[in-house]
Amino acid sequence: MEPNLIRPGEVAGWPKLVVTYPTDPERIAALLPPGLERCGNAEVQISVYCVPVHGEPEYGVSIKIPAAYRSIPGWYTLGIGIDQESAIFISRDTNGQPKYPCSVRLFRLGDSVHASATHQGVTFLRVEGRSAGPPTAPANSEFADNEWWIKVSRAVGGAEGEYDLEPRVVRVAMEGTTVAEEPIEADVALVSSAWDPVADLLPPLGPHRVRFVANRIASRTIAVAGPLDPVAFWPWTDTIGGSRWPGTRGGPIRAAR
């Protein structure tokens, strides 16, 4: 739904707030499991959104890095923090979507914009800004994008190197049109957090770009794209909670692989 067609009082259908920034390409490569390769610009994309799920608004924050699988470029999703528990575990069990519980705020009052994400008592992301110009449609408005998730299950009992379901890549293929983009002049704070280590493992090496993006989605498909080597993938099986951040026994670690 286009922003100017939202009925008064309705929150579902808001454009997403997108933050991108450059980082160290080697930091990106270190987070990608064998079988996924770094591609494109070495940048991090953080999106804060509100979409309708189960008949109510779901506020979420997603963190992605550029990656290719079988030479197909796309984005590897490290984590999707959401405020709706009903969608967390079913999404991971069904499609390998790396969701975890997170308190997310996103609102706009006039030209003022606020977004934040809080997990395990730490607000690891905060955006405070104002509109820097009117919404405009980009010259190349049509897009085709891929997002990579991983579905995997370790063996019952926790035997080292054993799986009940060996790792496979899930491809989320999406096509559509960007209806409008609005630049936001904002201060972006990424705070060090053991549970959400974006600031530590993907540190900014340049300025942030912040904008509202409104897309009209023409198609979205979710399907298995292919396997990953189970032996090479084993070090990537231990993550922080439901995310794909590297962890120890489901909890955080502070150092990258």
Domain boundaries, the chain: 3-139+175-216
CA distance 110 to 159: 55
Averaged pLDDT of the chain: 93
Q: Are strands 72-82 and 142-154 parallel, antiparallel or unpaired?
A: parallel
Cα–Cα dist 185/211, whole Å: 8
- CA separation for the pair 67, 75 (Å, rounded): 5
pLDDT of 139: 80
Give residue for tokens 């009082």: 9
Q: Smallest Cα–Cα separation from 242: which of 179, 132, 151, 141?
A: 151
Alpha-carbon distance of 122 to 110, in angstroms, equals 28
In this structure, are strands 72-82 and 99-101 parallel, antiparallel, or unpaired? parallel
Domain 3-139+175-216 falls under CATH 3.30.70.660: no
Distances (CA, A) of 237 to 30, 68, 167, 218: 14, 20, 9, 34
Q: Which residues of the chain have pLDDT under 70?
A: 1-14, 254-257
Q: Under DSSP, is residue 17 helix (H, G, I), strand (E, B) or coil? A: strand
Q: With contact defined as beta carbons under 8 Å apart, do 236 and 31 qualify?
A: no
Report, in this order, helix, strand and coil percent for the chain, each rounded to 5. 10, 55, 35
The predicted pLDDT at position 2 comes to: 47
